[in-house]
Amino acid sequence: MGSIVTGVAGFIGSHLAEALLDRGERVIGIDHFNSYYDPMLKYRNIANFIHHPLFELIEGDIQRVNWSTLLHGIEVIYHQAAQAGVRASWGEGFRTYTDRNINATQVILEAARDAQDLQRIVFASTSSVYGNAETLPTYETLPPEPVSPYGITKLAAERLCWLYHHNFGVPVTALRYFTVYGPRQRPDMAFHKFFKAVLQNQPIPIYGDGQQTRDFTYVTDAVAANLAAATTATAVGEVFNIGGGSRVGLMEILETMEAIVGQPIQRQYGDRALGDARHTAADVTKAKTLLAYNPQVSLPDGLTEQWRWIQALYAMQPNKFLQREVSIASGWH
């Protein structure tokens, strides 16, 4: 028996696969290694375990692999793969989001209908489905109101999960992540960009007035939520908020970062970004009750670990990564 992790070379997927392997489980990892950001960063993410005897890597599009063969002996699918990023989801890029977030999820769900060994699909959703929620902290039964095309596609994929669960008994659980951060974070995400700017002695971009707030989740806490969702019987058919336990403003975050890096951080203000929610905060009562979810890593500790990783990453490949400008910026998400 074993598990499949889609998006295995990505930020959360690579941490999740590593945790499963550390537990002695067999893992099949699937990743397309597309060019949304440098594929070399993705290969670096899996370097620690790519040769692990219990790990098998499949490089390819989710919609093109032979799922009927892959699912033999598979008990859990951790569906982490997605086209991420709020700001890039506008315009012509939306087609990529519908294909990789909606169509790819439907292919997995369809294959799961006939999978004899499958016990759970854990679907990675997002707090972006809530948009500018009227209630903070936000709980799962509030009506979703996405404010970005990205959020629309993730909500549509969620709805597909429930359709397949109710009509065919596919055992799905969905986790709505609230701004996950930590080592291996994508280069288009805020903390990665901020720390990279410090190394370059450049100002960090701030969209709008800087008063926005977020609920931040350290990556190992997100992994723990996945592992619990895969094995808790009462999680089937349920959606859970996965947050870090506190809502923090951007200015407070920058002060924390300045203390970590030991120098002032330059700011460069710009217009508010379309599709970015003003505030997010997760009510994690349900996850605590049913999954025994209890976030362990504080924001200062998590940022310290990410800063160490950023320093090591760009020290190793200064010319390849440090001078490359990120062309797609999705900010907090």
Give the tens place of pLDDT for each residue, 172-230: 999 999 999 999 999 999 999 999 999 999 999 888 888 899 999 999 999 999 999 99
Fold assignment, 186-214+245-280+297-322? UDP-galactose 4-epimerase; domain 1 (3.90.25)
**Closest C-alpha to 212, from 175, 254, 241, 176:** 254
36 is catalytic: no
Instruction: Give the mean pLDDT of the chain.
Output: 93
pLDDT at res. 327? 35
The whole-angstrom separation of Cα 29 and Cα 215 is 29
Domain assignments of the chain as residue spans, ordered by start:
2-180+217-242, 186-214+245-280+297-322
Identified catalytic residue from 37, 97, 130, 150: 150
pLDDT at res. 333? 57
Asked, colleague to colleague, whether 2-180+217-242 and 186-214+245-280+297-322 share their fold, the answer is no
Q: Is the pLDDT of residue 323 over 50?
A: no
For the domain covering 2-180+217-242, report its CATH number.
3.40.50.720
**Closest C-alpha to 174, from 149, 148, 147, 144:** 144
pTM: 0.94
Cβ–Cβ under 8 Å, residues 155 and 129: yes
pLDDT, tens digit (0-9, with 9 covering 90-100), for 268-321: 988 877 778 889 999 999 999 999 999 999 999 999 999 999 999 998 665 455
